[in-house]
Structure 1
Amino acid sequence: MTDINLIDIRRHLHQIPELALHENKTHEYLMRIVGSFNQKNLTIGSIESLPTAILVKINGYDPKRTIGYRSDIDALPIEEATGLSFSSKHPGCMHACGHDIHMTVALGVLHYFAENQPKDNMVFFFQPAEESESGGRKAYEANAFNGNFKVDEFYGLHDNPSLPAGAIGCRMGTLFAGTTEININLTGKGGHAAYPQNANDMVVVAAQLINQVQTIISRSIDPIQSGVITLGKIEAGTIRNVIAGHARIEGTIRGLTQSMIELIDKRLEEICHGIELSYNCKVDLELNQGGYYPVENDSELTREFIEFMQNDEDVNFIETKPAMTGEDFGYLLSKIPGTMFWLGVGDDSSLHTATLTPDESSIDKGVNAIISFLENRMKR
């Protein structure tokens, strides 16, 4: 359905990965590609507070709605180890989450509708800062989707190495968990190891706090619901014979609904307050969710999406389970109804690894499936 070389585009994007809010070369290249498309029905916009973002509106010939399509554009701080001839040219940075695939598919869909005017209006959002810095939330709070670029419903994909190349995966309800970063600083009183009565040992306090936190999921959460707390980092002390007066714990919360995350947050706050009282120390808890809300798919739109993909003979549709990984598209879906889905890229390596090598045959299959769905959606 496209007559542009999407493989070349993907390989160029793969060579110029950039971190959140610094996607300058990526922005320049995307603008060049979009600028080469038929401009008759296109309007290109920007977001002043998010300069690497790109908005592209296509005017429909008989619009009843405006359909949004989002692609993230940033990369990860990972040194590539694929050995590909088109490997990253930016040391220590790689498209290890497949955002080069996301952008390429979006460009393929955009190109088709630039050449074949859609019935409804469309807005394509090339979003910076998905991996960190909550780019979706920043764009929404900058009123990017009001006025000329107002969006009535949003769609977006994420590549999935565990699915066959070109397969479409989706599910009703939550696709991705929401995430919250945990930072806990415990302050007591240091002292000599031989005189514990004169100190307030934050190693002991940290151990007690960690033990109590483990009861949140097992005793405060409905067993048929899903939540995760992982405390992955702890720092305390300087030497074996000095009692530590300070400790720091870092971790993450994952939940499949926003209400689940808020419940875990509340219990964690209560435990920290209890530890503070019990051990006569200071416990500072910082919870940072940003824009990483659960990706909770709209029921009506998602049912229509799944039914279409199941009935399309050219699509290999797979119903998937929810994933505990995070995605800031969840914030946009908490404000604007829509659907996120998987595009299989058939790889032995997982996302966020230095050897991720998506099967490029997935690109055209994804483009074709999305175009077919959107054209059908516009008939409704």
Structure 2
Amino acid sequence: MPIVNRVADLQPDIQAWRRNIHEHPELLYEVHRTAAFVAERLRQFGCDEVATGLGRTGVVGVIRGRKPVGRGDIRVIGLRADMDALPIEEATSLPYASRTPGRMHACGHDGHTAMLLGAARYLSETRNFAGKAVVIFQPAEEGGAGAAAMIKDGLLDRFGIEQVYGMHNGPGIPIGSFAIRPGPIMASTDAVDIRIEGRGGHAARPHTAIDSVMVGAQLVTALQSIVSRSVDPLESAVVSMCEFHAGNARNVIPQTAELKGTVRTLTPEVRELVEQRLREVVDGVARMTGAKIDLSFERGYPVVVNHAAQTDIAIRAAREVAGESNVHDMPPLMGGEDFAYMLEQRPGAFIFCGNGDSAGLHHPAYDFNDEAIVHGTSYWIKLVENTLAV
């Protein structure tokens, strides 16, 4: 039976798993119910090995193909899905909406997990490949670096993973379509925290104070010059200061102010440049205003960089599922993904699967589109059968 037809038969089960997970969202590493749900099904499918507790709550399933591995062939590939939700109040009114106030699957990780479970079931039934397919269910993608935690616990070495692949749904990409590119596809994500200490005073006597609000306003404006005047116009960078906290009375110049923001870049060189210039700008404003300014620049997820050969492998699999005209080249995105840590350690590729005309990721009205299930699940299966073919 063709892959897509068999996956279509499995679609009701995969959809039911997805909606079950959607109803019970869990955050970061506290994905105990979801992890147990995943592990139970992997055992039911007959996976040759099911491991739990990697990266605290990650789950791994190993499926051995029934064909012999040839000399020099790829023996083991990893397929990764993320399991965690977001601290957002759901606003969908769906019958399977979140049952936990203040939490929802607003990024589609419920769909990612269900599709990989569907692929695991199919691969366990057919085993039409050589070597091993390792299905990876990761916690804490949303800011917790769960991928790095699983790697630290020995994920890649313990299971002998030689190549690793990831997938994310893409709102705005038509159902049945995929999007991918070689090289940088998603940005690094760094955190900026700035604390300004001026000199408080009466609003009617500003000459006796060092106005932390004015200093903060100058900083917000000055930091924008980094992208517009220090970064090559042909490169990409984002500096966004998104929090500004100061004062509690209209007639008091506050002693302190705090700014918080994020920096996004697509290359190590631009990342270094932006951090350097940010420190220089902060130092300059401090000297100009007389305020004391403390800067914390915390590096987050690295750039997601698709390897060229593995991107070609992913494109081939996607085209076999969706047709050549439905696999598109895409520009890089300035959002981040901790799958970057896996791609730093092993060759692989990250692809986007169309979610249709849905609300955007991290929006209270977002919902993973169940029509994407057949396409995403079939992609995983085709990727394994192509890569581990004999």
Q: Answer with 275-284 or 13-22: which moved more.
A: 275-284
How far 1:241 sits from its partner (Å)? Answer: 2.2
In the other structure, the counterpart of 2:385 is: 375
Counterpart CA distance in 2 for 1:312 and 1:238 is 58
Code of the residue aligned with 2:257 in structure 1: it is: A
Whether 1:299 aligns to 2:308 is yes
How far 1:128 sits from its partner (Å)? Answer: 0.4
What is the alpha-carbon root mean square deviation over aligned residues? 2.0
Code of the residue aligned with 1:379 in structure 2: it is: A
In the other structure, the counterpart of 2:19 is: 11
Q: Answer with 304-313 or 156-165: which moved more.
A: 304-313
Whether 1:23 aligns to 2:34 is no
Whether 1:45 aligns to 2:55 is no
Preserved contact between residue 347 and residue 359 of structure 1 (Cα < 8 Å): no
Whether 1:55 aligns to 2:60 is yes
Q: Answer with 301-310 or 7-16: which moved more.
A: 301-310
Counterpart CA distance in 2 for 1:16 and 1:313 is 31
Counterpart CA distance in 2 for 1:143 and 1:377 is 23
Preserved contact between residue 346 and residue 358 of structure 1 (Cα < 8 Å): no
How far 1:322 sits from its partner (Å)? Answer: 1.6
Q: Answer with 100-109 or 306-315: which moved more.
A: 306-315
Relative to structure 1, is the Cα distance of residues 116 and 259 closer, same or farther in structure 2, using a 3 angstrom cutoff?
farther
The 5-angstrom pairing of residues 330-369 of structure 1 reads: 330-369=340-379
Counterpart CA distance in 1 for 2:322 and 2:334 is 30
Whether 1:238 aligns to 2:248 is yes
In the other structure, the counterpart of 2:188 is: 178
How far 1:94 sits from its partner (Å)? Answer: 0.9
Preserved contact between residue 47 and residue 144 of structure 1 (Cα < 8 Å): no
Counterpart CA distance in 2 for 1:58 and 1:262 is 42
Whether 1:212 aligns to 2:218 is no
Q: Answer with 229-238 or 356-365: which moved more.
A: 356-365
Secondary structure class of the residue paired with 1:51:
coil
In the other structure, the counterpart of 1:248 is: 258
Counterpart CA distance in 2 for 1:283 and 1:141 is 35
Relative to structure 1, is the Cα distance of residues 161 and 33 closer, same or farther in structure 2, using a 3 angstrom cutoff?
same
Give the percent of matched residue pairs that are identical in Structure 1 and Structure 2.
35
- Give the TM-score of the pair, scaled to structure 2: 0.90
Secondary structure class of the residue paired with 1:46:
strand
In the other structure, the counterpart of 1:72 is: 82
How far 1:144 sits from its partner (Å)? Answer: 2.6
Counterpart CA distance in 1 for 2:93 and 2:33 is 22
Whether 1:192 aligns to 2:202 is yes
In the other structure, the counterpart of 1:139 is: 150
The structure with the greater share of residues assigned to helix is 2
The 5-angstrom pairing of residues 320-339 of structure 1 reads: 320-339=330-349
Counterpart CA distance in 1 for 2:321 and 2:106 is 30
Counterpart CA distance in 2 for 1:311 and 1:144 is 29
How far 1:169 sits from its partner (Å)? Answer: 1.4
Preserved contact between residue 203 and residue 253 of structure 2 (Cα < 8 Å): yes
* CA deviation map 1:233-278 (0-9, x unaligned): 1111222222221110111111122332222112111212222333
How far 1:198 sits from its partner (Å)? Answer: 3.2
Preserved contact between residue 314 and residue 351 of structure 2 (Cα < 8 Å): no
How far 1:313 sits from its partner (Å)? Answer: 6.1
Counterpart CA distance in 2 for 1:173 and 1:296 is 5
Counterpart CA distance in 1 for 2:255 and 2:160 is 53
Preserved contact between residue 217 and residue 227 of structure 1 (Cα < 8 Å): yes
Counterpart CA distance in 2 for 1:135 and 1:9 is 22
Code of the residue aligned with 1:240 in structure 2: it is: R
Secondary structure class of the residue paired with 2:365:
coil
Counterpart CA distance in 2 for 1:24 and 1:177 is 29
How far 1:166 sits from its partner (Å)? Answer: 2.6
Preserved contact between residue 193 and residue 261 of structure 2 (Cα < 8 Å): yes
Whether 1:202 aligns to 2:207 is no
Counterpart CA distance in 1 for 2:320 and 2:131 is 23
* CA deviation map 1:188-223 (0-9, x unaligned): 221223433432221222122222211100111110
Q: Which runs of 5+ in 1 are unaligned?
A: none
How far 1:340 sits from its partner (Å)? Answer: 0.4
Whether 1:127 aligns to 2:138 is yes
Preserved contact between residue 347 and residue 358 of structure 1 (Cα < 8 Å): no
Preserved contact between residue 347 and residue 357 of structure 1 (Cα < 8 Å): no
Q: Which runs of 5+ in 2 are unaligned?
A: 1-5
